[in-house]
Amino acid sequence: MIKNLCIFCGSSMGSQPLYGEMAASLARYMVSREITLVYGGANVGLMGVLADTMLAGGGKAIGVMPKSLVEREVAHTNLTEMHIVEGMQERKAMMAELSDAFIALPGAYGTLDEVFEVLTWNQLGIIKKPIGLLNIDGFYNPLLTMLNHAVEEKFLRPEHRALLIEGTDFVQLIADLENFQPVTAEKWIERLKAGGI
């Protein structure tokens, strides 16, 4: 069962009210399940919606933020816990350490960086923790098309493509994450020696 869930998402609200509404609904569901939020620690955008909704409902929210962002006054000041770290790599490593699973809501460079870092760690066997995309109103459809294209062009193996779980219903998505079975595959170097992927 997932006890600590890391959410990657934007520090902006996006163009549609639906993004914020879904973030708030997800947070309320997490509170009902007694799942603790682990996130980037900001008080703005979808990040702020998640944390505020968790706290208003009596839930727990743990933030992890680089010192440079704290100094820009975007840190949430009322979290259950706030961890101040030196840089982005330390931030991602701590969020991964604190969490049982990950979900990405809409976001941009930072969100995608976090998603692909976790996917790479899973692919390499550094961690064995599931990650999902909450694909709100088709936001991630272009990304999923790109990943499927990478499989077709034999840059991404199907079992590694399957590491990213997607869904439009966060209740089902969390259930899918809880049923996740880590991929067992040959190392890349072994496949390369065998003549390709």
Distance from the Cα of residue 53 to its chain's centroid: 18
At residue 73, the pLDDT reads 72
First to last CA, the chain: 34
At residue 188, the pLDDT reads 54
Indicate the pTM of the whole model. 0.92
At residue 191, the pLDDT reads 57
Determine what percent of the chain falls in helix, strand and coil, rounding each to the nearest 5.
45, 15, 35
Distance CA 26, CA 31 (A): 9
At residue 196, the pLDDT reads 53
Range of the domain at 34: 4-193
At residue 41, the pLDDT reads 96
Distance CA 77, CA 80 (A): 9
At residue 182, the pLDDT reads 78
CB 108 within 8 A of CB 169: no
At residue 194, the pLDDT reads 53
At residue 71, the pLDDT reads 80
At residue 60, the pLDDT reads 98
Mean pLDDT of the chain: 93
Q: Which spans in the chain are helix H? A: 17-32, 45-56, 67-70, 88-98, 109-123, 141-152, 158-161, 170-178, 188-193
What CATH number is attached to the domain comprising 94? Answer: 3.40.50.450
Give the Cβ contact number of residue 124 at 10 Å: 11
Domain count, the chain: 1
- Spans of the chain, pLDDT less than 50: none
Distance CA 49, CA 89 (A): 24
